[in-house]
Amino acid sequence: MQSGQIMVGDHQGIYVVKLVGDVRLNLCTSFDNYIGKMFSHDDFRGVVFDMHDTQGVDSTTLGLMAKIAIRSAEHKGGKPLVLCEDRGLLHLLDSMGFDELMEFSSDADNDAYRAEPAPLKCNAPDEHSAREMVLEAHRVLMSLNEKNADTFRDLVHVLESEQGTLEHKAQENKSVASH
């Protein structure tokens, strides 16, 4: 499988997220940062996910896609449009509850956007930032439906426990250092 890449662009307030190859975001916070910037622009009108060249996506990527869909609705950008022909990916998105959040088109020639997406530079995050992003993405997925909540409950619990342990150790180190 081709390693993944995220490409982004915008044109007249329509933001394009092109997912290429096998996209795995658990080690890349750049996409989460891009989401924040996208919604900070006054010209925001909507989002298109181009998945024509997508081979696979991990659950963190799915959680960030759901986050975009929810924020898009809050910003009156409507439901994002997903361009995808792959039946397996469409089934995955449907099974996660994305049919409630997004519009879908399998039309390969869909001219829904005019932006020319460029590669998003992936910055390796520190462990804390990566854990926070993964936790948030999975909490969003859990909020979509009971099936997702059941699927990701144990993972989120483990990550929260690890995070609590790390924060406790950091506090202890600060106390020792200040004495």
d(CA 107, CA 83): 7
Q: pTM of the prediction?
A: 0.84
d(CA 105, CA 108): 8
Strands (E), the chain: 5-11, 14-23, 46-50, 54-57, 81-83, 103-105, 118-119
Radius of gyration for the alpha carbons in the chain, expressed in angstroms and rounded: 18
**Which of 14, 22, 33 shows the shortest CA–CA distance to 120?**
33
Q: Where are the domains of the chain?
A: 5-178
Percent of residues, the chain, with pLDDT higher than 70: 85
Instruction: Report which DSSP code applies to 3.
Output: B
For 90-144, what is each residue's pLDDT tens digit? 999 999 999 999 999 987 666 656 778 999 988 777 788 888 888 999 999 999 9
Q: What is the residue-wise DSSP string for 79-102?
A: SPEEE---HHHHHHHHHTTGGGT-
Q: Which fold has domain 5-178?
A: Transcription Regulator spoIIAA (3.30.750)
Looking only at the bridges linking them, the beta strands covering 81-83 and 54-57 are unpaired
pLDDT reported for residue 27: 57
The residues with which 48 forms a beta bridge, in sequence order, are: 16, 81
**Which of 1, 18, 158 shows the shortest CA–CA distance to 83?**
18
Residue carrying the six token digits 């910003």 = 75
Res 22 pLDDT > 90: yes
For 77-92, what is each residue's pLDDT tens digit? 899 999 999 999 999 9
